[in-house]
A and B are shown apart, each in its own frame.
Chain A
């Protein structure tokens, strides 16, 4: 019987997050972080964005994107700390920081998406 560790599940979250972030984050960064603020493309009207955001499907999809991307980043960063900085002996602290951070931000995402008026 395989030992019941969390590693397989964390890896599955990492993989799913990797796919989702690879597919969606580049264009979102380009539009929301660069093109709209700089006016390369005229930023959509608040009305339009708000209408898109409020839709239940958008909220669910955004929640999924946020949670999966956060766990992807957390998992990858944890191993970067282990291998890049060779501080694996601090692994409990690292796990707390990485996955704890991902959970905290996921909760915030859930809250923000829930309370969209």
Chain B
């Protein structure tokens, strides 16, 4: 175990000419340090101009996603010791425009998330005095996995389709739509179907499966998407065959 490791960090400064460059820093490498600790050391002691996002440092906020040695990772959950003698290459998350250094523009995802209406939609809201909506453990299990998403966008970074076609709605958005579609309290599947069954909705997905591989919370967006393809295809078939009864 080395006690120092080289981190090669991608830099980009929009106010200067030129594109991305790589700057190497040597940081200490205690056994329990993660990549984020290395970045914080750089910012605190070596180069205060480095820009990056982070928050909870424990894998629940989804802020610190970056590309580490070519793989999308949460830098707060990725140990430096995994990389042996190094070097550890840290780049901004792929498939997103870079604003500065390791900070990427995530507005596209934010817009898509709103488009799938990730909230409980009901025809009639139950009166508060009627008490809470009840759900059995089995009903909870139907969607619980998809509710674990922390919006870290590692899946968008791993998805080659999103890289090639930025209009593609993407894995997390579909998984979150499914989280609500499969929730027994929700009645909004039909509304979400309109958004998701467009060409850049679920039909752009070709089941590469990398989104599920990189997800740090085991949400399995690929599974959510394939399940939804079946649902949407059958709904689409019904609307073709019986256009008036589609709702």
Contacts and interface: CB of A to CB of B under 8 A. Distances in A.
A83 B229 contact: no
Contacts of A15: 230, 233
Interface stretch (B19-27, B170-178, B195-203): B195-203
B206 A4 contact: no
A83 B243 contact: no
Contacts of B193: 2
Interface in A1-25: 1-5, 7-9, 11-12, 15
A1 B206 contact: no
Interface string A80-100: 001100101000000000000
B148 interface: no
B161 A7 contact: no
A35 to B, nearest CB: 32
Interface extent on A, as a size class? 10 to 19
B229 A11 contact: yes
Q: Is the interface of B mostly helix, strand, loop or mixed?
A: helix
B130 interface: no
Contact of A2 (B161, B206, B229, B236): B236
B203 A11 contact: yes
A93 to B, nearest CB: 17
B55 interface: no
Nearest to A78: B206
A1 B203 contact: no
A4 B198 contact: no
Interface in B210-247: 229-230, 232-237, 239-240, 243, 246-247
B206 A5 contact: no
A3 B240 CA distance: 10
Interface residues of B, number: 24
B237 A12 contact: yes
A8 B160 contact: no
B246 A2 contact: yes
Given A8-B233, A8-B235, A3 B246 contact: no
A12 B199 CA distance: 15
- Residue among B160, B165, B198, B236 with the highest chain A CB neighbour number at 10 A: B236
Interface in A54-106: 76, 79, 82-83, 86, 88
A2 B164 CA distance: 25
B141 interface: no
A79 B194 CA distance: 22
B194 A2 contact: yes
Contacts of B247: 1
Nearest to A79: B206
Contacts of B230: 15
Q: Which 5 A-B pairs rank lowest in CB-CB distance, beginning with the nearest? A: A8-B236, A8-B233, A7-B203, A79-B206, A12-B233
27 contacts: A1-B194, A1-B239, A1-B246, A2-B197, A2-B236, A2-B239, A3-B197, A3-B198, A4-B236, A4-B239, A5-B197, A5-B199, A7-B197, A7-B199, A8-B197, A8-B233, A8-B235, A8-B236, A8-B240, A9-B236, A11-B233, A76-B206, A82-B164, A83-B161, A83-B164, A88-B164, A88-B165
Given A1-B194, A4-B239, 11 more contacts: A2-B232, A3-B194, A3-B197, A7-B199, A8-B203, A8-B232, A8-B236, A8-B237, A15-B233, A82-B165, A83-B206
